[in-house]
Amino acid sequence: MTKVIVSGFSISIDGYGAGPDQSLENPLGKGGETLHTWMIETNMFHTMLGKDGGSLGADDDYATRSMEGFGAFILGRNMFGPIRGDWPDDRWKGWWGDNPPYHAPTFILTQYPRDPIEMEGGTVFHFVTDGIAAALERARAAAGEQNVKIGGGVSTVRQYLQADLVDEIHLVISPVVLGRGEALFAGIDLSALGFAVTEHATTEAATHIVLAR
């Protein structure tokens, strides 16, 4: 049975999944990039960028797991790019260059229709304008036997949690403070949704928590 999973999702110790004042210069908000230091330092991420080295151990294991075994991805539009409103043209194809790290059908939540984009390496971006449930239905169909990953950002994860559509969350608490930003769990009762901690691992760079139900 296909599971719907949030994975490798980083928050600050004050609970923010992105910093304040998002912009083209700061797509993750001010200070938001510090949430992801644990992943940037891993061998998995180095390899993804065609570099040698990087940390091994739990951070690397979880980083690998956060991108493997998924038959489809769902992303909020702001995670796909900085453009708001209608698409001015077809030039923007995501933050990730010609060969994005998804290698599978990837469904972008947006109010504005656009034709699919086939990228190198197996990623095809589909633009879904009829809501999160429709996007999940299409992602499930595309994923076959594999799992579906809700890739983010914060608002997208919150919407799927609030709709009771998430089976598992791998959360990463980074040792940073953001002060303001997008609070991942504010007003969401994880216990009522049936989540409990099923795994945790700690490293110098982060605390990894798996929540399942």
Q: Which of 37, 47, 64, 207 binds a second copy (CB under 8 A)?
A: 207
Q: Which of 102, 125, 160, 195 binds a second copy (CB under 8 A)?
A: 195
Nearest to 29 by CA among 194, 184, 213, 166: 184
- Using CB under 8 A as the binding rule, whether residue 164 contacts a second copy is answered as no
Burial label for 157, CB within 10 Å (0-12, 13-18, 19+), is buried
Count of residues near a second copy by CB under 8 A: 31
| Residue 12, CA atoms < 13 Å, CB-side half-sphere | 21
- Using CB under 8 A as the binding rule, whether residue 162 contacts a second copy is answered as no
- Using CB under 8 A as the binding rule, whether residue 209 contacts a second copy is answered as yes
Contacting a second copy within 22-41 (CB under 8 A): 31
| Minimal distance, residue 32 CB to a second copy, in Å | 12
41-49, 60-68, 133-141, 194-202 -> range binding a second copy (CB under 8 A)? 194-202
Angle, helices 154-162 vs 132-143, to 10°: value is 90
Q: Which of 97, 99, 130, 180 binds a second copy (CB under 8 A)?
A: 180
- Using CB under 8 A as the binding rule, whether residue 178 contacts a second copy is answered as yes
Place of tokens 């739990």: 58
- Take residue 68 and report the two structure tokens written for it: 């493997």
- Using CB under 8 A as the binding rule, whether residue 130 contacts a second copy is answered as no
Closest to a second copy by CB, 34 vs 123, is 34
- Any idea what the Cα angle at residue 138 is, between residues 67 and 113, rounded to 5°? 100
Closest to a second copy by CB, 126 vs 170, is 170
What is the residue-wise DSSP string for 25-71? S-TT-TTGGGGGHHHHTBHHHHHHTT----B-SHHHHHHHHTTSSEE
- Using CB under 8 A as the binding rule, whether residue 6 contacts a second copy is answered as no
User: Interface with a second copy by CB under 8 A: which residues?
Assistant: 13-15, 31, 171, 173, 175-180, 183, 185-186, 188-193, 195-197, 200, 202-204, 207, 209, 211
